Amino acid sequence: MNIKELQDKLQRFTDERDWDQFHTPKNLVMALSGEVGELTEIFQWLTEEQSKAIVADVEKMKQVEEEIADIQVYVLRLAHKLGVDIERAVEKKMRKNAEKYPVHLAKGNAKKYTEY
């Protein structure tokens, strides 16, 4: 995935519709939250097994895919608006997480780093 290319496409799409005026950081975060809620709703009352088996349900997976795409669009727009380099931020966060969760302590468990 070329993040910059996607952000440029989204900017063109937004510009063509004169929507940039609405894409403030606050509004984008609120829209992002709404889309995460829609994804959450799909899984809300499923058991663990049902949530894993959802991949076999073509219609549900279409919904999941659309919600994930909506979430990604808002994340990309928000990062673009705020000047966040997503690739750099993710790499930085991965290094930080590697320090907080060293393999010898974190492997195979879900404990928070403060519990080691």
Q: Each residue of 21-47: pLDDT tens digit?
A: 999 999 999 999 999 999 999 999 999
Contacts of residue 106, Cβ cutoff 8 Å, sequence gap at least 6: 113
Q: Each residue of 68-98: pLDDT tens digit?
A: 999 999 999 999 999 999 999 999 999 999 9
pTM higher than 0.85? yes
Phi and psi torsions of 52, nearest 5°: -75, -35
Domain residue spans of the chain: 3-82, 85-116
Q: Which fold has domain 3-82?
A: Helix Hairpins (1.10.287)
Report which residue type is found at 103: V
* Backbone dihedral region for residue 101 (phi beyond 0: left; psi -120 to 50: alpha; all else: beta): beta
CB burial of 5-38 (b: ≥16 within 10 Å; e: otherwise) equals ebbeebbeebeeeeeeeebeeeebeebbeebeee
Q: Each residue of 1-24: pLDDT tens digit?
A: 799 999 999 999 999 999 999 999
